[in-house]
Structure 1
Amino acid sequence: MTKSIYLRRLLLLTAIAVTGFISPAFAVDLLEMPAVQSGAATQTLLLDISSRDDNALAVVGAHGVIIVSDDGGATWTQAAVPSSVMLTGVDFPTPDSGWAVGHDGLILHTGDGGKTWQKQLDGYQLNEQIVAVAERIVEQASQEVEAFQSQDEPDEDELADAEFMLEEAEFMLEGAMDDTSAGPVRPLLDVWFRNAQEGFVVGSYGMLLHTVDGGGTWSLVSDRMDNAQAFHLNQITQAPDGTLYIAGEAGYIYRSSDGGMSWDSLEPGYEGSFYGIVVVPDGSDRYELLAFGLRGNLFRSVDRGETWESLDSGTSVTLMNGILLRDGTVFLAGQGGVIMTRAPGQQQFMPSKNRDRRTVSGLVQKSDGNVLLAGLGGLRITDATGMPVASPSTKQ
């Protein structure tokens, strides 16, 4: 990679990082306010669920609420969390070690199965990282200009290009420094860990973070993908062959075949947001990708995202999450309590007869085969067809 191309990619990274943030003024910093313990924790707005093992679950949501269960969701205990911001994603690569992410650039870690959580990164630290990157870009751009100017007969076009990049870098540095005064305002939206050491976090405005030391350090690596418009990155998942996929805004899906070091941009042929991808193995080395999003849009690929076809999801309502059940059923859910399921070996999605109209955001299949749903109004349980089973309780 030439230096000029490298600088352009770094400029893209900083442009993504300083895109359009306006921070409201709060008298209390929710990042520093511990989550309030509540007897109604299972009834608050909850957004994501992760299985810790067969019977252990963790759920995150509004006001920094994290609740955990060790008995398959029969009872729940609220965890001690050092922040009250909205939490949007959670993942446990091992039964004890897990991560949660949320608004204001917050990343939390637990090493005791979710009972207590510690902050690994927040928006203040992320702002500092962005400024440091911007300063490095200015230094490198300045060195490139000086290198051209030291030549006896520099190429005028290349010199002009280098000077333009220096001006852009200085502009980006100024913007990054200004944004530090806006405070921590970058929502992180999803987290996925390969093991207890390596993981990725995706978020608004093209934010992509990577760690290889269990979150001891987090690196901003948005420049690994072509996302000049800084579209939101909504969800990250892994296929059986190790390929990573990110569902994004504006009809983009991103694919990495090298463990997240580089990303291809895929365009299924739709300009709205994708909120997630369900991976359906076919029993061989192939698998089906089902990408879902706004207004019930659903796209299918059987060649790792090279080509896509639009499917009839059976609904025009936005689909927020989806999972593959153990029997091969695809279970999709979203706004207004919509639930669509596709039985194994079938192509058509069927609507659930469940009349609960509360929006669903998070899903996980429990050890008994039923499905735990998180969303507006908290937790509820359905069978594999989406019909209600029971309502969980909170144990304090």
Structure 2
Amino acid sequence: MSRITLTAMALAVLLPLATAVAQPYVDPIDAPAEASPLAARSQLTAITQAGDRLVAVGARGVILLSDDAGQQWRQARVPVSSDLVSVQFPSALQGWAAGHDGVILHSADGGESWSKQLDGRQLLGQLTAHFQALADAGDERASQYLELVNLNFGNGPELPFLGVWFDNERDGYAVGAFGTLLATTDGGKSWVSWIEKIDNPNSFHLNAVIGIGGELYIASEQGTVFKLDRAQQRFVALATGYTGSFFGLVGNARFLLAHGLRGTAYRSTDGGQSWARVDTGHGAGLVAGVMEDNGDVLLASQAGAVLRSADQGRSFTPLGAVTPYLFAGLSPVAGTRVAIVGMAGVQVAPAR
């Protein structure tokens, strides 16, 4: 082979790389999610129901919709390509998704299209102004919160929201890393700091927020569960007896189940005042939980297992017909099946 031919081949390889390197960087906050025919097989991190529709979110701003119980999926229009880790619909049409780069998105059409309500750049400005105003008014702790904000945003607007929950179409909460906690009373048109309204002096990560039995709870680190005291408008800490991280909570008016690292689950029947450890028979992190219409509990594991409880979280057995991979979320489908999302996309399996 001649030197000219080798040179031509090298240029054919290097020119596209040089062109790619020369392209200007676009912040994921400003770059719409790219459409992909393989989106349903890509990394997905959360899934929920919007009426009869399934809505799943994942890496690079991907949001998927299914109207046939998870058999077929199509990609929604999303204005960011930041990784999304949480999604919730309090009604069939109104929904919210949240994730990295301080992003909170809203949909008013059942997930077909999304608009950005907040990002990390905006959040930095809002939190700085908020705590500076409190400091100027003589609030002694405000300067500490300002230091926390500056530390959290030292590398840019990259900190994630890890959970979002709305009681209805107006009243909602978003939680995230290093104690980030926001609230809205106007459907997310404006978000305000609740960082100072939670008993979290160590700025534990707030991993999930959920309404259960008319109460609001947050799963956190070092065995901590926070519960909203509606009279004080403040989240108070509940001691569980555990020292590791909880990733989420599931339950109803009769019981709570907090689940987390190494197959850990703790159960309460008195609104979180006392807790007892549950033997799940599993050793990997339990990252997501959901209740079926019949009251059964399903938990998803990082090791690719789904555990089922038919006795309100007292005991668990693994589902057999599940293809294992690193799971991140799950949602009931049509009463007898479950949609599971994770590193390899989405699958639908029998829930019995």
Deviates more, 1:348-357 or 1:196-205: 348-357
| Counterpart for residue 132 of structure 2 | 135
TM-score, length-scaled by structure 2: 0.88
Residues 1:222 and 2:222 are matched in the alignment? no
- Deviation, 1:225, is 0.9
Give 1:360's match in structure 2, choosing from 327, 340, 344.
Answer: 327
- Deviation, 1:317, is 1.0
TM-score, length-scaled by structure 1: 0.78
**Counterpart mapping for 1:1-396 below 5 A:** 27-53=25-51, 55-141=52-138, 165=140, 173=146, 176=149, 182-240=155-213, 242-258=214-230, 261-281=233-253, 287-344=254-311, 347-354=314-321, 356-385=323-352
- Deviation, 1:340, is 1.4
Q: Structure 1 stretches of 5 or more lacking a match?
A: 1-25, 145-164, 282-286, 386-396
Separation in 2, partners of 1:175, 1:267: 25
Separation in 2, partners of 1:138, 1:346: 46
Structure 1's 322 and 177: CA in aligned 2 closer, same or farther, altered over 3 A? closer
Q: Structure 2 stretches of 5 or more lacking a match?
A: 1-23
Separation in 2, partners of 1:217, 1:41: 31
Deviates more, 1:110-119 or 1:174-183: 174-183
Deviations 1:318-376 (A, max 9, x none): 10111111222211111110221112478321123346330111111112520000111
Secondary structure of the 2:203 match is coil
Separation in 2, partners of 1:345, 1:196: 29
Separation in 1, partners of 2:347, 2:82: 23
CA contact (8 A) 1:276 1:292 kept: yes
Task: Give the aligned CA root-mean-square deviation in angstroms.
Answer: 2.1
Separation in 2, partners of 1:373, 1:366: 10
Report sequence identity in percent. 38
Structure 1 or 2: more helix by fraction: 1
Deviations 1:7-59 (A, max 9, x none): xxxxxxxxxxxxxxxxxxx9331111110000011101111111111x21111
Structure 1's 36 and 260: CA in aligned 2 closer, same or farther, altered over 3 A? farther
Structure 1's 216 and 336: CA in aligned 2 closer, same or farther, altered over 3 A? same
Separation in 2, partners of 1:177, 1:326: 44
Q: Which amino acid aligns with 1:216?
A: K
Secondary structure of the 1:263 match is strand
Separation in 2, partners of 1:174, 1:235: 24
- Deviation, 1:74, is 2.4
Deviates more, 1:95-104 or 1:354-363: 354-363
- Deviation, 1:171, is 7.0
Q: Which amino acid aligns with 2:284?
A: V
Q: Which amino acid aligns with 2:105?
A: L
Structure 1's 174 and 259: CA in aligned 2 closer, same or farther, altered over 3 A? closer
Structure 1's 329 and 174: CA in aligned 2 closer, same or farther, altered over 3 A? closer
CA contact (8 A) 2:47 2:331 kept: yes
**After TM superposition, where is structure 1 displaced by more than 6 Å over at least 4 residues in a row?**
none
Secondary structure of the 1:235 match is strand
CA contact (8 A) 1:327 1:344 kept: no
Structure 1 or 2: more strand by fraction: 2
